Amino acid sequence: MTNFADLTTIAVGGPIASFIEPTSRVGVIEAVEDADAKGLPLCVIGGGSNMLVADTPFDGVVVRDARHAVSVLDEAAPAENDEKIVHVNAEAGCNWDDFVDYCVGLGLEGVEGLSGIPGTVGASVVQNIGAYGQEVASSVESVEVWDRKDKQTKELTNQELHFGYRMSALKASMYSAPATPAADFFPTPRYVVLSVTFALHHSATGVVGYGQLAKALGVEVGERMSTTDIRNAVLNVRASKGMLEDSHRYLTEAMRGTKKSELVAIAHNAQRTQAGNDEPDYNRHSCGSFFMNPILPKEQAAKLPEDAPRFSATLPDGTPGVKTSAAWLIDHAGFHKGYKTSENATAGLSTMHTLALTNRGGASAADIVKLAKTVQDGVERAYGIRLVPEPVVIGMSLK
């Protein structure tokens, strides 16, 4: 029997009653529709990187799209607003970093800053992944979905997806409020992603849009660099913070074949070189960034310490707000890199990044939740802000 611990980057989670890997578009739809028709709990999983699942059995159906195809839709790059745009379609099950590598190799700009983010193309648009000055929303033209409510396929445009900070209409359909599941569809959106069409710039250079990345490249923010150089720099920066997935997971039976073997080999060699050994890296056994950066009303942000990071942002109601750093709040509330609730705890903050909650070897989902709640409570006591978890939390409560 397959366990969620076999499928997730944080390596926790209980046994799965039914695990299905469709190899066709129709197969994905049929698997989803069959589970819904029987009233079974349904979890459509990508790379397992943005989820935390209970240790108890999941008495439903888990569907992992086994389709990985990527195709260029334009014979020649058409001009849009005096820029050459290339449309690329990727099936939902395609490994995200495989897709980025493919696009950079074709001389396409728009997703290079998102290198190294674990997961799949389908999950990327649900979460609206972002890093180092880019968000996937800026490159998505449309998404083909299966509508579980209306029982039909639909093509949703970028505008219809209502992208926001780590949010989309797809993700919103799972929740009635932040971190509060909606009974009708959770833990899978109403709209199941089948494929995504991207509009990318035909250019071998990209804009360096983030200070840390610019420093790594030795340039100023806003300068253009080779997309290959940007991709490599992003991977190096992520590795330095333990924010890449552990390449060992792709050597397991449950994950083998879900990522290109040549990229697995490159990642494995890089990880071994960085660590100086061939052991698993527990700093990489995480869900990535566990908490979202809070977006606050200006009045609340004004109460933060003077040295707290502040960035312009938009509140859910459309009014101007202020985004601050969850990592800063965690650290300044007394939870530093490597923090654990006890000396022998098997869950702890990464020793390289306070925003990553990690499985230090043998942790359970309950251990991760205990750590997360400890951090949430501490930050709330210190600053009056309740951090919202970024992963999908299944079978447990974490608000």
Tell me the per-residue pLDDT of 6-64, one tens digit each, with 9 for 90 and over. 999 999 999 999 999 999 999 999 999 999 999 999 999 999 999 999 999 999 999 99
Is there a single domain that holds both residue 56 and residue 87? no
Q: How high is the pLDDT of residue 77?
A: 66
Is there a single domain that holds both residue 147 and residue 174? yes
- CATH code (residue 129): 3.30.465.10
Which residue type is seen at 156?
A: L
From 16, 42, 64, give the residue that closes a domain: 64
> In this predicted model, what pLDDT tens digit does every residue of 185-225 receive, in sequence order?
999 999 999 999 999 999 999 999 999 999 999 999 999 99
3-state SS, residue 270: helix
Residue 262 domain-assigned?
no
Residue 158 domain-assigned?
yes
> In this predicted model, what pLDDT tens digit does every residue of 305-348 receive, in sequence order?
999 999 999 998 889 999 999 999 999 999 999 999 999 999 99
By CB atoms closer than 10 A (0-12, 13-18, 19+), residue 247 is buried
Can you read off the two tokens belonging to residue 364?
């359970």
Residue 38: count other Cβ atoms within 10 Å of its Cβ. 10
Q: By C-alpha distance, which of 206, 234, 209, 205 is closest to 221?
A: 209
Residue 265 domain-assigned?
no
Residue 198 domain-assigned?
yes
From 49, 64, 79, give the residue that closes a domain: 64
289 pLDDT tier (thresholds 50, 70, 90) = very high
Residue 357, pLDDT above cutoff 90: yes
Is there a single domain that holds both residue 57 and residue 122? no
- CATH code (residue 306): 3.90.78.10
Is there a single domain that holds both residue 84 and residue 32? no
CA–CA gap between residue 259 and residue 265 (Å, rounded): 10
β-pair partners for 145: 154, 193
Q: How high is the pLDDT of residue 199?
A: 97
Is there a single domain that holds both residue 22 and residue 130? no
By CB atoms closer than 10 A (0-12, 13-18, 19+), residue 151 is exposed
C-beta separation of 342 from 371 below 8 A: no
Q: By C-alpha distance, which of 47, 245, 217, 46 is closest to 133?
A: 217
> In this predicted model, what pLDDT tens digit does every residue of 97-124 receive, in sequence order?
999 999 999 999 999 999 999 999 999 9
CA–CA gap between residue 192 and residue 211 (Å, rounded): 35
C-beta separation of 173 from 182 below 8 A: yes
Number of domains in the chain: 3
Is there a single domain that holds both residue 28 and residue 49? yes
From 16, 48, 64, give the residue that closes a domain: 64
Tell me what the mean pLDDT of segment 247-266 comes to.
Answer: 95
Is there a single domain that holds both residue 174 and residue 142? yes
Residue 138 domain-assigned?
yes
C-beta separation of 163 from 128 below 8 A: yes
Is there a single domain that holds both residue 81 and residue 14? no
Q: How high is the pLDDT of residue 76?
A: 66
Is there a single domain that holds both residue 109 and residue 8? no
Is there a single domain that holds both residue 106 and residue 173? yes
Residue 125 domain-assigned?
yes
398: DSSP letter: -
Beta strand pairing status for 51-53 and 392-394?
parallel
Is there a single domain that holds both residue 351 and residue 384? yes
- CATH code (residue 37): 3.30.43.10
Residue 260 domain-assigned?
no
CA–CA gap between residue 286 and residue 220 (Å, rounded): 31
Domain that holds residue 56: 4-64
Average model confidence (pLDDT) across the chain: 95
Residue 269 domain-assigned?
no
The residue whose two tokens read 């968000």 is: 135
C-alpha distances in Å from residue 255, one per residue of 15, 251, 323, 360: 16, 7, 36, 20
Tell me what the mean pLDDT of segment 255-262 comes to.
Answer: 96
Percent of the chain residues past pLDDT 70, beyond the cut: 98
Q: How high is the pLDDT of residue 273?
A: 86
Is there a single domain that holds both residue 365 and residue 384? yes
Catalytic machinery residues: 166, 289, 390
